[in-house]
């Protein structure tokens, strides 16, 4: 019985240690701090950037044409055909809103240690394109906006979110969340006409406008991506973007200095979920156009991609440029000339840039140096940790026998003290004794014990 109890306790302990080791080994922050932000020394092509994220929009729902040959997003389809560059942005698991936005805007794949905090807070401070911008105006869900406002140093990231509890106002029609965002953006530009401070800020360069559109995701969860509600919401976003572009271009006097990026944080499965690594969840659309962005590139031959999507989407004739989700961060930073976020691991997708070879080369160099800075910092930290371990080892061996030697010395001293006490006692006791009696006691202590008791008595 005792054997089985011991076996059970040892088995349980071993499994608990194995379980905790996973957190200790894998759930650590990949981020390092203390790097210098890197900027390209050349003038950027755009003064401002508009980032539109259609939450939960999967690539095939966006690119596939309807049975009648029309598109669910006719305005953005026309952009792909006539004005911009397009591709598939490959996201990583977990395909959730927070890690998706962190990859897009900060350029790294979410810090896994934040799982323990439910992705609500920033467990580790990180840099982002918003933080590096001069001003960023954001509209959308409070869950997403809060983490970038909180992570930004200073007060140059302005958030306009509907209260979390009021997300229910769209319970009957989630696309109203998106209409709310478009209305708010338009009213900002409208109010700038009577607000000189706001007007001055808007006219500066290195500004970002971020629209987070949650309607498609909410409709996908509620009605699934094949539903009419999901499809209609894509149409609503498309017409909203068309109107937004005309409002912005009109506001800035058609100066041709605005860059636009339209994408999604993750996709969605046919049954209305996301989080895992199915292609319906990891493949998201990307369309970029405007200042500094490459115009459509006609292709006559075969393209590099063998996945069949080009044929399915009827886009074989236009160059497709796929990228990893985190690559969008250095692209946005290069377009408006702000430093690439210091923790970014994104690689600049050069084919999206419409600029001189010198500019592209400088941007690639900045990108390489910026990633190298992280490598150097990580190496330095590891070196310091290793050196401190080596120093600890040196101290350990230097003081290896100090304890046993100390014990020996203490024991020796105790022995010596005892000997001294004994000698003193012996000497003092012999002073009160008659030498003959003492002699007899010493010669035959057992036989003569009564003499001793007599003496003491």
Give contact residues for Zn ion (rule: CB under 5 A): 55-56, 97, 217, 265
Which one, 111 or 265, has the nearer CB to Zn ion? 265
CB of residue 268 to Zn ion, shortest distance in Å: 7
* CA pseudo-torsion sign 151, 285, 339, 26: positive
Give the residue from 92, 93, 89 showing the smallest Cα distance to 322: 89
* Triad 219, 220, 221: Cα angle to 5°: 90
CB of 75 to Zn ion, least distance (A): 22
CB of 243 to Zn ion, least distance (A): 23
- Distance of closest approach, residue 88 Cβ to Zn ion, in angstroms: 17
CB nearer to Zn ion: pick between 119 and 352:
119
- The H-or-E segment that residue 435 falls in is helix 435-443
Alpha-carbon distance of 329 to 104, in angstroms, equals: 6
Q: Closer CB to Zn ion, residue 207 or residue 325?
A: 325
Closest approach of Zn ion to the CB of residue 220, in Å: 7
Q: Is 132 exposed, middle or buried (0-12, 13-18, 19+ CB in 10 A)?
A: buried
Minimum gap (Å) between residue 100 Cβ and Zn ion = 6
CA dist list (Å): 278 to 58, 215, 275, 281: 11, 22, 9, 5
In whole angstroms, the minimum distance from the beta carbon of 80 to Zn ion comes to 23
Identity of the residue, 104 or 287, whose beta carbon is nearer to Zn ion in the bound complex:
104
| 3-class DSSP state of 277 | coil
Closest separation in Å from C-beta 263 to Zn ion: 12
Smaller CB distance to Zn ion: residue 132 or 217?
Answer: 217
**Minimum distance from CB of 264 to Zn ion (Å)?**
8
Residue with smallest beta-carbon separation from Zn ion = 97
Q: Specify the length of the chain in residues.
A: 457
Closer of 216 and 371 to Zn ion (Cβ): 216
Return the H-helix or E-strand segment holding 361. Answer: helix 357-398
> Residue 43, SS3?
coil
Closer Cβ to Zn ion, 217 or 327, answer by number = 217
Separation of alpha carbons 378 and 138, rounded Å: 33
Instruction: Write the CA distances from 310 to 15, 252, 440, integer angstroms.
Output: 49, 36, 120
Half-sphere exposure of 297 (CA within 13 A, CB side): 14
Choose between 141 and 374: whose C-beta lies nearer to Zn ion.
141
Q: Specify which residues 451 forms β-bridges with.
A: none
* Residue with smaller CB distance to Zn ion, 142 or 292: 142
CB under 8 Å to 389, separation ≥6 — which residues? none
């Amino acid at each position: 019985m005792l054997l089985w109890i011991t076996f059970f306790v040892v088995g349980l302990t071993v499994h608990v240690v194995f379980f905790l080791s996973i957190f200790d080994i894998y759930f650590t922050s990949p981020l390092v701090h203390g790097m210098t932000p890197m900027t390209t020394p050349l003038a950027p092509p755009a003064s401002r950037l508009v980032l539109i994220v259609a939450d939960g929009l999967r690539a095939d729902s966006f690119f596939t044409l309807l049975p009648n040959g029309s598109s669910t997003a006719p305005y953005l389809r026309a952009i792909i055909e006539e004005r911009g560059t397009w591709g598939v942005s490959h996201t990583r698991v977990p395909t959730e809103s927070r890690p998706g936005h962190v990859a897009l805007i900060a350029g790294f794949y979410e810090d896994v240690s934040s799982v323990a905090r439910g992705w609500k807070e920033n467990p580790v401070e990180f840099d982002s394109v918003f933080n590096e911008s001069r001003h960023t105006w954001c509209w959308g869900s409070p869950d997403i906006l809060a983490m970038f406002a909180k992570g930004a140093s200073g007060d140059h990231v302005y958030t306009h979110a509907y209260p979390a509890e009021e997300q229910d106002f769209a319970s009957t029609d989630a696309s109203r969340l998106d209409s709310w965002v478009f209305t708010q953006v338009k009213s900002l530009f409208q109010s700038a006409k009577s607000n000189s401070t706001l007007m001055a800020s808007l006219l500066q360069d290195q500004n970002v406008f971020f629209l987070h559109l949650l309607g498609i995701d909410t409709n996908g969860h509620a009605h699934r991506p094949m539903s009419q509600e999901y499809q209609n919401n894509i149409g609503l976003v498309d017409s909203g973007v068309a109107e937004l572009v005309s409002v912005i271009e009109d506001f800035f006097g058609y100066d041709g200095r605005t860059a636009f990026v339209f994408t999604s944080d993750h996709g969605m499965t046919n049954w209305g979920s996301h989080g895992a690594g199915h292609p319906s969840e990891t493949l998201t659309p990307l369309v970029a156009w405007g200042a500094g962005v490459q115009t459509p590139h006609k292709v006559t031959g075969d393209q590099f991609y063998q996945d069949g999507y080009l044929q399915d989407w009827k886009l074989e004739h236009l160059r497709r440029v796929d990228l990893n989700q985190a690559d969008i961060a250095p692209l946005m930073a290069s377009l408006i000339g702000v430093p690439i976020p210091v923790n970014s691991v994104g690689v600049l997708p050069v084919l999206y840039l419409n600029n001189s070879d010198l500019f592209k080369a400088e941007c690639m160099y900045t990108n390489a140096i910026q990633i190298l800075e992280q490598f150097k910092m990580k190496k330095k930290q590891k070196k310091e940790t290793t050196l401190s371990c080596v120093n600890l080892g040196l101290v350990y061996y230097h003081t290896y026998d100090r304890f046993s030697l100390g014990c020996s010395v203490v024991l020796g001293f105790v022995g010596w003290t005892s000997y001294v006490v004994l000698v003193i006692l012996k000497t003092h006791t012999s002073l009160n004794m008659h030498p003959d009696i003492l002699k007899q006691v010493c010669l035959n202590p057992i036989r003569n014990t009564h003499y001793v008791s007599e003496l003491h008595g």
